[in-house]
Amino acid sequence: MTPRRRRMVVVGLILVGVSLATFLALTAFQKNLLYFYTPSQVAAGEAPTGYPFRVGGLVVEGSVQREPDSLTVRFSVTDGTSTVPIHYSGILPDLFREGQGIISVGQINTAGVFEASEVLAKHDENYMPPEVADALKQSGQMSGSYKDYRK
C-alpha cells in the first residue's frame, strides 16, 4: 500500500469516527429535550406520549386535592382555554398555591392525566415563567405585570 493510499484510509476512518460520534451525540441530545406545552396544546393532542415534557399555567382555584397521610396531590392547570389534570407525588414548593403560575415536568398517562415528576413554582410576586406568561397572554387571561428575565 502506498503512503498516499494509507493516508487516505486514515483520513476516511477519522471521518467515519467523527460522523458516528456526532450522530450519537445528537441522538442523545434529542432524547433529553424537554419541550414546553400549554394546556390547550396538551388538550389538542400536540404533546408527545411516552416522552417527558413540561406543561404550565395557573393552578385552578379549588382543584387542589391532597390525599391524607400521603404526599400525593391532584390539581389542575389552565391557560384560560383548556385545563389539564395533574397528579404529583412529592413535596410541593413552598410557594405553590391556587391561582399561581407553575410549570410541571412529566408525561401524559393513558387516562389523559399528566403524571408530574417535578413541580416548579414562581419565586416572587412579579415573576412568571416566560412560557406560562406568553400562553396566558395569547388566551387573554394575563392580568397584572410580570418580570421577564430572558432579556
Binding-site residues for heme sit at 123, 127
User: Can you say which residues are annotated as belonging to the binding site?
Assistant: 123, 127
Grid cell locating 88: 404529583
In 3-state terms, what secondary structure has residue 65?
strand
Angstrom CA distances, 1 to 7, 45, 140, stand at: 10, 59, 73
> 105, 96, 151: which is closest to 123 by C-alpha?
96
